[in-house]
Amino acid sequence: MRTMQEINQIIRELDHQIADDLEDQDLDFKQWDTKSMDKAVKKVVQMAICMANGGGGTVVFGVAEKVKGQGRAILGVPPEVDINILKKSVYDQTDPKIMPVFEELRVSEGTGRLLIMQIHPGLPPYTDTSGRGTIRIGKDCQPLTGTLRRKISVETGETDFTGETVSVINPALLSAVSMETLRNMAKAERAPSELLHQNDLELLASIGLIRNKRFTRAAILLAGTEAALRKYIPGHNWTFLSMKSDTHYENREDRVSALPISVSRIEELIVPYNPITTL
């Protein structure tokens, strides 16, 4: 994937090259379809699937691929296009679910904004909900044929993404609040008292989250600090929206937090909108 700084530098090359020549395995440019929102969203979903199957990458929306010159190539994305709606569309229309990260890049040309979609590596194959898919090979998105799907299955095997180890044991990667919340949840489920009285590392080891003296991704997901989550599980985040209508919301919260804290906080956010009355 490309950083915003890298994308800014690449965009400057549009005065000398067309966007198509600047594309690579992990980078694509796409012009936004201003005539049909449905077609534009469909293209976003297709590119998310293509990049996810190809190992992840970056898609820049709002740039014409065959035009030279920043002023002519950078057309931008309309201001009314909501990033959260795009994120939800990709999630709803992919299988397994893809969680893209969208960033907005301000420019002086066109509508004044480009949308950057970052797709993190995962466990392919990915398709849309109808079973169709493509895979990034070089600069192209090619159909995800049976042969390619078999090849992906052989390469990935039966890998458990959360069970893979990511770091040597380091207590600094653990959140004290997450561990306390985890213990409280275990206590509520009547976990054995000897388990609850273990120190943090012993507890994680007892429930299988430490292997070969290394933290698994599951350990980071359940007990990691925000910094650890951003480093080892860069696609992990959550957004809460209280919708006033199908397209507008009145309350929003974005966070990167371990799962026990996330569940607890989301419950706190939901209760005011779904009050429980005991009779």
* Residues paired with 142 in a beta bridge: 135
Q: What is the pLDDT of residue 77?
A: 97
Q: What does DSSP assign to residue 272?
A: G
Round to whole Å and give the CA distance between 140 and 133: 13
Residue 210 CB neighbour total at 10 angstroms? 19
Helix (H, G, I), strand (E, B) or coil at 93: coil
Report the CATH fold assignment for 4-156.
3.30.950
β-bridge pairing 27-30 and 57-61: parallel
Structure tokens, 51: 């990049």
Query: Which residue ranges make up each domain of the chain?
Result: 4-156, 160-279
- pTM score: 0.62
β-bridge pairing 27-30 and 127-128: unpaired
Q: What is the pLDDT of residue 207?
A: 86
Q: Under a CB-based contact definition with an 8 Å cutoff, are residues 24 and 16 in contact?
A: no
Helix (H, G, I), strand (E, B) or coil at 95: strand
Q: Under a CB-based contact definition with an 8 Å cutoff, are residues 102 and 117 in contact?
A: yes
Q: What is the pLDDT of residue 157?
A: 53
Q: What is the DSSP string of 109-167?
A: STTSEEEEEEE---SS--EETTS--EEEETTEEEE--HHHHHHHHHHHTT--GGGSEEE
Q: Which residues of the chain have pLDDT under 50?
A: 158
Q: What is the pLDDT of residue 155?
A: 66
